[in-house]
Structure 1
Amino acid sequence: MKVRFALFVFVTLLLLTGRAHAGNDCASVGVRPFADATPVYVHEAGVHRIFTKKWAASAGMKRYFDQQKQLFNVLKNQQPPEDGKAQLKFGAVGDIMRLPSHQPEFVGEALKEYLETLDLLTGNLETLISSRYPLPPESLFLMNSDPSVLTAFRNDQGWNYFSLISTANNHTYDFGDAAISDTLKVLRKEGVFQSGVQEMAGQKPYVVVEKNGIKIGYYAITTFVNDIKALENSDLHFNPMVKGIEALPFSEWKSVCDIDLSDTDKVLKQMAHDGADIRIISIHWGMEQEMYPRAVQLDIAHELVKQG
């Protein structure tokens, strides 16, 4: 069955409005026209909220969100495909954070009604789900949740609305291997496929599922983890991280020409070989309170599109 599009790159931040630089000319990679004029040190000082109110937003930020509105309107007004053509209604959410207690009803009926209209739903599970550790954890910077953070997304038939989940983020190793294994058990029980961590050597770092006759490949990665020593000592297998855009100050971020994207190139080729009509790369990246992606993130997204 012919599918009209071969690649969809989903990233935690929506990157579809950026402008790709021509060819592979690294000299042309630079700050995008909508780059924020706010000084870098303001962002790095952690006072984003003061300087990112609508009345104080830069012209670049306003232009970016105007472009986002135009994009959403185009997508909303798209006509359905011709009769006989395969189609898929896809939903993606960002970070699914921890619940400090058992809350099986926290997903409202209005949201469930909308989720019923989707063929495929993905999200980033930015919390562990393990009964071995307290709820909530002692630190605000550690993530562990009650299972209802996921089970509340079941429909009336008992199936979870999520089809694909990313377990690749900075909180993956907050509590070590045992907590990760507990989380993977919950996902398996819910019938939700994940990319990010493999329990055995040789397992594929991505998953391929089929919906409406369309095969979707899904590969999740992050730019850093909070506890790098726990990762280095882990018996599990974590998807390779994108290095070079993970730490402050921003002045030390590498350009796309200096970042190794060979792992994603290899995975995209493997997913294509497995027959994936749509290939999704989910990246957990960026900084707290950043209102839109930085230029290098847009450049990386375009490089991933070029990879196929």
Structure 2
Amino acid sequence: MKYLIISLSIIILLILNARKRPKPTESDLSHKFFPWMQLYYASKYFSPVKKAARHSRLEEYFRNMKPPVNREPLVQSDEVKLHAAGDLMIRTEISRGNPEFLWSEIGETLFDSDLTFANMEFVVNDSNPIDKTIRFSMTEQQAEVMLGDRRFGHFDILSLANNHINDSLYSGVKSTMTYLDSKGILHTGANSSPEDVDNFPIVERKGIKTAFLGYTFSTNGIPLEKDCQHATNLIRFNALKESEYDPSLIFRHIELAKQRGADIIVASLHWGLEFEYYPPERIVRRGHELLEKGIDIIVGHHPHILNPSEWYRTSDGRDTLCFYSLNGLTSQTLPISAQNTGEIAEIILEKGINSKGESITRIKDASLIPTYFIRKKRGMRSRHRIVPLFKIIEKLNNGDSIEYLNPWNRIQLRYAHREYVKYFLQEAFHRK
């Protein structure tokens, strides 16, 4: 009892400390936390860390981010619109919902693209359904609602490289890939054999070939089975020691993608620290190294909260993108505004001829569309919705009637909007 009282007291003090800074941790359940770190983690769950590490200057760096300017126009060009979203999180009660509610407000925007991509953070395994606090293995029927909507479309490609891919072991990895194959949805980051590790999708749209790679820092302390080490692409992005971080697999895949004719390389990276507004410096440094090596777009997942995004010019003059965390389209955490606010990245790829007569493929433009996950239930049926945050706030400000919002939803939305504008609105990614 004494220890419980002390623990609760420490958690409360940490929650009330609005100026707290991030602590050095890998955020990995396969590494045992000291009791202090357990308390710190619990406090972040209720009250996120809103400041970057001391002396990092990351807050200023991201706040002053600018898009590329004065670039030479291309002629005879074609454009491809890529939409990248965050985590697709699911619980049984979400799966009981009607997709006509879930996608009704965001589906037209999300699926209006040449390619739509997200991180599928659960497995599909009819033989072993699991719905626990941090393990998600769903039936095919339950998964159906998460993949899209007949009115608007569905995801073209999903990353499976995340800390939940092994939740029902290798049988779940295989059944998930089989299920997505049956739906005509491409996937990356999970593998059916050791030889399959070097196979990843390269998708062509309007003459632009885009490779999709996927990697995860952890499988939540559930080890890959002895003969199934190939199941997912494990890279210890969050490692505190440089000696424990080995990106050689990514480097190999970058070279293979180039050899196979990819014009653009997208990497889905499951990395970062939960419930912290800024990535650790080591994550930023490792992201820059991967962009320098040849990745064009990093789509980050895992922190269950937004992180800033970045335009980064490489030493060879390429304008690249890193979205450190887009959070989730859906959420299974607490109904706290910051944990239910996500983003859709809209990226315009361009291929054309420059003044030297050379064929060039590049990122022409990028913008962010903030979203909010509204949770509503009627009896045993969920009526959750993903909504475009700025548009819904504009309607509220105009006094428009929105029948599905109750007073608590309105309070949450306004708070989420204020928090987004204060911490995450970047001029480089938002249209005026």
State whether TM-score is above 0.5: yes
After TM superposition, give the deviation of residue 74 of structure 1 in Å: 4.0
Q: Does the alignment pair 1:270 with 2:262?
A: no
Which has the higher mean CA deviation after the structures are superposed, 235-244 or 218-227?
Answer: 235-244
Structure 1 outlier segments of 4+, above 6 Å: 58-61
Cα pair distance change 1:244/1:285, threshold 3 Å: closer
Amino acid paired to 2:127: R
Post-superposition offset of 1:96: 0.9
Counterpart in the other structure of 1:289 = 275
After superposition, the C-alpha distances for 1:84-105 in whole angstroms (9 at most, x for unaligned) are 2122222212211114133341
Deviation at 1:213, TM superposition (A): 1.2
Secondary structure at the counterpart of residue 137 of structure 2: coil
Return closer, same or farther for 1:177/1:38 CA change in 2, 3 Å cut-off. closer
Instruction: Report whether the alignment pairs 1:150 with 2:137.
Output: no
Aligned letter for 2:189? G
1:102–1:278 Cα change, 3 Å: same
Show the 5 A alignment for 1:105-184. Answer: 105=99, 106-134=101-129, 137=131, 139-145=132-138, 146-151=142-147, 153-156=148-151, 159-160=153-154, 162-184=155-177
Report how far residue 154 of structure 1 moved.
3.4
CA shift, 1:123, in A, is: 1.2
Partner-residue secondary structure (3-state), 2:124? coil
Distance 1:64 1:155 in 2: 42
Q: Give the counterpart of 1:254 among 210, 217, 241.
A: 241
Alpha-carbon distance in 2 for matches of 1:236, 1:102:
34
Q: 1:166-194 CA distances to partner (integer Å, 9 max, x unpaired)?
A: 11111111111222222112211221111
TM-score, normalising length: structure 1: 0.71
Q: Is the 8 A contact 2:125 2:168 kept in 1?
A: no
Q: Percent identity?
A: 24
**Residue type of the partner of 1:115?**
L
State the partner residue of 1:20. Answer: none
What residue ranges of structure 1 are gaps of 5+ in the alignment?
1-35, 247-252
Gaps of 5+ in 2: 1-19, 26-35, 295-432
**Does the CA-based 8 Å contact 2:21-2:49 persist in structure 1?**
no
Contact 2:22/2:49 (<8 A) preserved: no
Question: Quick check: 1:198–1:236 contact (8 Å CA) kept in 2?
Answer: no
Q: What does the per-residue CA deviation read over 1:41-92, in whole Å, with 9 as the maximum and x for residues that have no partner? A: 88762112565476xx56979x756765665x848x999x655212222221
SS in structure 1 at match of 2:269: strand
Specify which structure has the bigger relative contact order, considering alpha-carbon pairs within 8 angstroms and separated by 6 or more residues.
1
1:212 and 2:206 correspond:
yes
**Kindly tell me: are residues 93 and 293 of structure 1, through their superposed partners in 2, closer, same or farther at Cα, counting changes over 3 Å?**
same
Q: Which residue of 1 aligns with 2:361?
A: none
Q: Residues 84, 98 of structure 1: CA spacing in aligned structure 2 closer, same or farther, 3 A cutoff?
A: same
AA aligned opposite 1:288? E
Q: Is the 8 A contact 1:216 1:278 kept in 2?
A: yes
Q: Structure 1 40/86 Cα, relative in aligned 2: closer, same or farther at 3 Å? A: same
RMSD: 3.3
Are residues 170 and 49 of structure 1, via their aligned partners in 2, closer, same or farther at CA, if it must alter by over 3 Å?
closer
Task: Work out whether 1:199 is the aligned partner of 2:192.
Answer: yes
Decide whether aligned partners of structure 1 residues 48 and 206 sit closer, same or farther in structure 2, where only a CA change above 3 A counts. same
- Name the counterpart of 1:238: 231
SS at match of 2:261: coil
Contact 1:196 1:205 survives alignment (8 Å): no
Partner of 1:87: 79
1:258–1:143 distance in 2 versus 1, CA, 3 Å = closer
For the Cα contact (< 8 Å) 2:170–2:225, is it kept in 1? no
Q: Distance in 2 between matches of 1:70 and 1:181?
A: 44
Q: 1:222 aligns with which of 191, 203, 216?
A: 216
Q: Do the aligned residues in 2 keep the contact of 1:197 with 1:205 (CA within 8 Å)?
A: no
